[in-house]
Structure 1
Amino acid sequence: MEALKQIANVAGYSGLYRILKPGRAGVIVESLDDKKAKTMMGPTARVSVLNDISIYVDDNDEQSMPLSDVLLVINEKYGENLTADPKGSNEELAEFMTSVVPNYDRERVRPTDIKKLISWYNILRQYAPEVFEATTEEAPASAEETTETTEEETKA
């Protein structure tokens, strides 16, 4: 998911942000919401690009699963009909996570992590649907669809 390289979470701030321009004095970000507020995050801000985030799993071969893969599984399984509530009980959150990543590490993946995953997915579906559209190219696409996606990626 190439588009996740442009989207970040900032520690201490709710929601997700699109990275507009990195610089020496920090990074300029735009909130992924209706306000589209632009903010300068200083060099001390902990900005985590979604492309670099992973979920711990219990596999012997792999210690973690990239967030992009987890988001794709959620999208394939639920699409726009995600009914999981980020404010649900810990048992409901664990049940949701098991349905998406059956082998997730139950000791290292906390309920707060699952809450973030659900809310991030909802934000991405609403304000950055191109994240999921770009990944549907794996299925055979017509020439027009491929051209549209390429133009979107070029603009980003």
Structure 2
Amino acid sequence: MNLEKILAISGKPGLYVLRVQTRTGFIAESLLDGKKITVNLKINVSLLSEISIYTYEGEKPLAEIMQKIADKENKDQAISHKEENATLAAYFKEILPDYDEERVYPSDIKKVLNWYNMLQAKGLVTDEELATTEETPVAEELVAVADETPIAEVKTPAKNAKAKKE
């Protein structure tokens, strides 16, 4: 399962597919309704390929956990994320027996199952190799800009040109 261009955007429901990078952010398409939105760099965005779940031995990539769910369910829908917390924890324990119960909250389990079911409904749960740490160039640029450039220092070329003239 390839999660390299799948995004979770803070404050927005559902998941998004990264379409195009722009000068001030990027354009993403919703998996829920297919609408495209422009996202600027000030908004908190998570690439699903960069998310991991805590285990007692370290961290497991989300793609690996999604693949385990797909294998358990034969690429079909998993249980609903609206189940009781105890039911969700028992299900997740079957998928990932060594997950760190103190650091992985029920809300995290709900997100993983909700995301899996969204991806499955859109036909994105496949037998593809797991997404590795190799990222697409667009994803690398997004991470580099988001991680290394403080928001206050992001300037458009027009502002840079004015600053040089003065």
| Deviation of 1:24 (Å) | 2.8
| Deviation of 1:126 (Å) | 1.4
Q: TM-score, normalised by structure 2?
A: 0.73
Asked if 1 retains the 8 angstrom alpha-carbon contact of 2:78 and 2:113, the reply is: no
Q: What one-letter code is carried by the residue in structure 2 that aligns with 1:107?
A: E
Q: What one-letter code is carried by the residue in structure 1 that aligns with 2:129?
A: T
Q: Which residue is equivalent to 1:52?
A: 50
- Among 89, 102, 110, which residue is 2:105 paired with? 110
- Among 129, 145, 149, which residue is 1:135 paired with? 129
Q: What one-letter code is carried by the residue in structure 1 that aligns with 2:5?
A: Q
Q: Which runs of 5+ in 1 are unaligned?
A: 137-156
**Residue deviations 1:54-106, cap 9 Å, x none?**
000011xxx10000000000000113444422111110111011010000000
CA distance in 2 between counterparts of 1:44 and 1:52 reads: 19
**Residue deviations 1:94-145, cap 9 Å, x none?**
101101000000011010110011110011111142x523239xxxxxxxxx
Larger radius of gyration: 2
Count of paired positions: 130
CA RMSD of aligned residues (A): 1.6
Q: Helix, strand or coil: the match of 2:82?
A: coil
Q: Which has the higher helix share?
A: 1
Q: Which residue is equivalent to 1:100?
A: 95
Q: Helix, strand or coil: the match of 2:113?
A: helix
Once the two structures are aligned, what percentage of the paired residues are identical?
35
| Deviation of 1:16 (Å) | 0.4
**Residue deviations 1:5-26, cap 9 Å, x none?**
1111001111100000123311
Q: Which runs of 5+ in 2 are unaligned?
A: 131-166
CA distance in 2 between counterparts of 1:103 and 1:120 reads: 21
Q: What one-letter code is carried by the residue in structure 1 that aligns with 2:31?
A: L
**Which has the higher mean CA deviation after the structures are superposed, 8-17 or 78-87?**
78-87
Q: TM-score, normalised by structure 1?
A: 0.78
Q: What one-letter code is carried by the residue in structure 2 that aligns with 1:135?
A: E
